[in-house]
């Protein structure tokens, strides 16, 4: 069983009774009794599958997320993040999608941002951006 917690600017994981501190800035790990150096602290297994990694790579190439931790790019608004999370959850079949993506991206209320996006007038640029995201998940 794996549990992830966020405390004072850092992610901590308890994995099979092993405490691991993962420092996102230096991408280094320190652990007590660590058995493996590959510990994913941000995303559940469904988002680390081969299929999901293909989607992450496409999102990174399109400039929506950054690096192997899949952090949101500076240009990705929370409305777009909510749209991405919603599409990703639908394609992969993730229960509790908001909890997963809010924890992974360290944001709150993604459902509210998706509602804002759905109620917003769509200009040509926004439609094109959403179409680009849709293409990632086809």
Same domain, yes or no, for 15 and 75?
no
User: Which pLDDT score, from 0 to 100, does residue 5 have?
Assistant: 52
Same domain, yes or no, for 66 and 23?
no
Q: How far apart are the first and last CA of the chain?
A: 32
User: Which pLDDT score, from 0 to 100, does residue 26 have?
Assistant: 35
| Residue-number span of the structural domain to which 75 is assigned | 45-136
Same domain, yes or no, for 22 and 56?
no
Q: What are the DSSP E strand ranges found in 2-133?
A: 2-7, 10-15, 18-23, 28-31, 65-66, 71-72
User: Which pLDDT score, from 0 to 100, does residue 35 have?
Assistant: 32
Q: Provide φ and ψ at 23, rounded to 5°.
A: -95, 110
Regions of the chain with pLDDT less than 70: 1-42
User: Which pLDDT score, from 0 to 100, does residue 11 have?
Assistant: 53
Structurally, the chain folds into a number of domains equal to 2
**46 and 94 Cβ atoms separated by less than 8 Å:** yes
Q: What percent of the chain clears pLDDT 90, i.e. is strictly above it?
A: 57
């Amino acid at each position: 069983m794996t549990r992830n917690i966020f405390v004072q600017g850092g992610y901590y994981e308890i994995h099979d009774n092993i405490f691991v501190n993962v420092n996102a800035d230096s991408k280094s790990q320190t652990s007590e009794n660590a058995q493996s150096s590959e510990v994913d602290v941000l995303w559940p297994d469904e988002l680390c599958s081969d299929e999901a990694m293909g989607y992450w790579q496409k999102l990174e190439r399109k400039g929506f997320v950054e690096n192997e931790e899949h952090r949101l790019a500076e240009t990705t608004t929370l409305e777009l993040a909510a749209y991405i999370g919603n599409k990703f959850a639908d394609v992969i079949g993730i229960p509790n999608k908001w909890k997963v993506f809010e924890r992974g991206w360290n944001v709150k209320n993604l459902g509210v941002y998706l509602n804002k996006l759905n109620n917003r007038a769509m200009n040509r640029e926004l439609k094109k951006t959403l179409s680009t995201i849709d293409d990632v998940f086809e």
